[in-house]
Structure 1
Amino acid sequence: MYYTNIFNDGFVEDFLDELFGGATGRSCGEENKKSQPPKRVANLRTDISEDDKGYKFEVDLPGFDKSEVSIELKNDYLTIRAEHAEKEENKEAEETKYLRKERYKGLRQRSYYVGENIKAEGIKASFNNGVLTIDVPKPEPKEEAKVTINID
C-alpha cells in the first residue's frame, strides 16, 4: 500500500481510489523504486445538469485527445474511460533524472447510473478543449395499456 503525507496533493484521491478498488496500490519499498508505476484510476470531475429533454454531463479531461476517450452504455450505467496511449520514450527522456514527476500515464474511468430504458442511439457527445460534453435524453414515459376485464 502507498502511504503519503495527508498534506500532499492527491492524498485523499489516492486514499479513496485504494478504498474503492480504483488504484492498484504502490509500495514505498526500495525494490519498487525503479519499476514502472502501476496504472492509476482516478475519478473524473463532472458537472451534471438537467432540463426537460434530458441530462448534460460536462467532464473535465485535460491532456487527453479525443481518440483516448471512450463512452459505453451498459446495464443502465454510462461509463466514461480515458487512457493515455503508451508513447515511445526517446533516449534523452530515459536519461533524465526527475526530482518529482506528477504527470502520469494511466487510466481514468467513472460510471454514472442514468436510469432504465435509455437508448444509446439518442446519446450525443462532443469533445472540445479538454471537456467532454454528453447529452443523454430522458426515457420516454411508458403508457400503461388499458385492459378491460370481463365480469362473469
Structure 2
Amino acid sequence: MLRFDPFTEMDALARGLLSGQPTGSTRTPRFMPMDLCKVDDHFLLTADLPGVDPGSVEVSVDNGTLTLAAQRTARSDDAVQWLANERFSGTYRRQLSLGDNIDAAGIEASYENGVLSVTIPVAERAKPRTIEVRQKDSPRSIEAESTS
C-alpha cells in the first residue's frame, strides 16, 4: 500500500518560489508525472523523465519513504541566443510514503527511453493466502452393551 502526501509537492513548490535564488534558467522542474498501479503481487510506478541524464537517476528508500530524483542539465553555451527556452532543467524529486506491507528490500528500478520504472513488491506477510480449515475429531458414538 502506498500513501500519497500532496503537501510534500506543495512544500517543494513553495520553497522553489520563495527561495529567490536564480538557477540559470527560470524553467526549473516543478512536477514529475507518474502512474502507479497494482499488478499481481507488486506495485508498478512509472515516471516520465525525458531528457534527464541517465547517470543522475536515483531511487532510494529510507524509513518508509521512497525517493525518486533525477537531473536534467541545462545547455551552458553562453554563445547561444535563445529563440525559445521551454524545456525544464534542474533537479526532479518526488517522494512517496510506503505502507507497512511493502518489501522495501525487493524494490527494483530501471530507466529506459525517458521512463523510470520502479517495481515495488508486496511483502509475503501481506499477500492473500488460503487458510486451511481443520476439523475437530467428530464425536465418537458410544454403544451401550445390554446386560440382560
- TM-score scaled to structure 2, two decimals? 0.64
- CA shift, 1:35, in A, is 7.6
**CA distance in structure 1 between the partners assigned to 2:8 and 2:78 by the alignment:** 29
Q: Is residue 2:119 matched to residue 1:127?
A: no
Which structure 1 segments of 5+ residues have no match?
1-15, 143-152
Matched with 1:76 is 64
1:1-152 correspondence to structure 2 within 5 Å: 19-22=10-13, 23-25=15-17, 36-37=24-25, 40-85=28-73, 89=76, 93-116=77-100, 118-141=102-125
Counterpart secondary structure, 2:50: coil
Task: Select the structure of larger CA radius of gyration.
Answer: 2
Letter in 2 for 1:25: L
Indicate conservation of the 8 Å contact 1:26/1:38, yes or no. Answer: no
How many pairs does the alignment contain? 119
**CA distance in structure 2 between the partners assigned to 1:108 and 1:46 by the alignment:** 12
Residue identity (%): 28
The ranges of structure 1 where at least 4 consecutive aligned residues each deviate by more than 3 angstroms after the TM superposition are 16-19, 37-41, 117-120
What RMSD, in angstroms, separates the aligned Cα atoms of the two structures? 3.4
Deviation per CA, 1:57-82, whole angstroms, max 9, x where unpaired? 01111001321100011121211001
Deviation per CA, 1:125-149, whole angstroms, max 9, x where unpaired? 111101111110012227xxxxxxx
Which structure 2 segments of 5+ residues have no match?
1-6, 127-148
Indicate conservation of the 8 Å contact 2:29/2:88, yes or no. Answer: no
Relative to structure 1, the CA distance from residue 39 to residue 104 in structure 2 (aligned partners, 3 Å threshold; closer, same or farther) is closer
- CA shift, 1:83, in A, is 1.3
Indicate conservation of the 8 Å contact 1:39/1:107, yes or no. Answer: no
Indicate conservation of the 8 Å contact 1:58/1:134, yes or no. Answer: yes
Deviation per CA, 1:69-101, whole angstroms, max 9, x where unpaired? 0001112121100113577x3xxx313222432
